[in-house]
Amino acid sequence: MRWLAIPILFAALGLQAAERGEVDLAVYTGADFLDQSQFELSVMSVHGLQVADRFQDGRAVLNYGLYKLEIKLTGFNRYERSFMVDQPHTDVLARLKLGDVANYHGATAPTRIIGTLRNSPVPYDELWVRAEPVHEGQDSAIADSRVGTDGSFSMAVGYSSASYRILVLWIEPDQQHPGLSGLRPIHGTTVVGVFPHSESTVEIDLRGTVDAPGSDAPAY
């Protein structure tokens, strides 16, 4: 009888146990669903309480309220969103996106080359940029990047000092075989020096480059 009296006493005092709901978290990369052990998880209540440790295999029981979710995984953009728990069961789907260099999440920031192409005679989205080390340093690497519609590009090129030759490659349509194309180098005279864990910027003018001879250009 004593235990039965406790809920009655709480009700008489206007106190109620906090309502709670089950939360199922699914994290998707665009190719696979991830296990919780594969990413870094943060779930913060509106009161500033960290509750990520309550999740086991992507499932937790949380008090009703508003929460901020944050997921970090190397190679992907940081994922952030809020979700509300206000019913017995809540599903939360987190869709991760591959990170560009500017949003790279990892233990150590890589050396980066960030650039802009100007005056391209062909659409920017038909271009690629390649960085090849001229004098290789430790951890230097060849890097490729698609060019954005605004002419911008960015690449992680390793973790050490080095000089890089910048190649601009055009996805040239094959006029004799519609639907096919090949990569044709249209610029390759720019050299950029980089330093560990820093960003180097470059601007390249492509005016008139597509008319340059390319029949003997190497394949990439």
Per-residue pLDDT tens over the stretch 95-139: 888 775 445 445 455 678 899 999 998 899 889 888 888 875 555
Pick the CATH number of 108-210 from 3.30.2310.20, 3.90.1150.10, 2.60.40.1120, 1.10.10.1590: 2.60.40.1120
- From CA 44, how far away is CA 50, in angstroms rounded? 5
Comparing CA positions, the residue from 78, 104, 202, 117 lying closest to residue 158 is: 104
What's the whole-model pTM score?
0.46
Q: Where are the alpha helices (DSSP H) in the chain?
A: 2-12
Better-scored residue on pLDDT, 101 or 25: 25
DSSP-derived letter for residue 101 is G
Domain boundaries, the chain: 2-95, 108-210
Spatial contact of 205 and 119, defined as CB atoms under 8 Å apart = yes
Q: Please name the fold of domain 2-95.
A: Immunoglobulin-like (2.60.40)
Confidence at residue 115, expressed as pLDDT on a 0 to 100 scale: 93
Residue 85 and residue 109 in contact, taking contact as beta carbons nearer than 8 Å: no
CB within 8 Å of 171: residues ≥ 6 apart: 126, 127, 128, 181, 182, 183
Q: Is the dihedral of CA 50, 54, 58, 62 positive or negative?
A: negative
User: What local confidence, expressed as pLDDT, does residue 212 receive?
Assistant: 42
pLDDT digits (tens, 9 = 90+) for 178-211: 544 566 788 888 998 888 777 889 999 998 766 5
d(CA 14, CA 117): 67
Q: What is the pLDDT of residues 29-77, one digit of tens each?
A: 877 889 999 999 999 998 999 999 999 999 999 999 999 999 999 888 8
Q: Do 70 and 42 touch, CB atoms closer than 8 A?
A: yes
With residues binned 3-state (H G I as helix, E B as strand, rest as coil), the percentages for the chain, rounded to 5, are 10, 50, 40
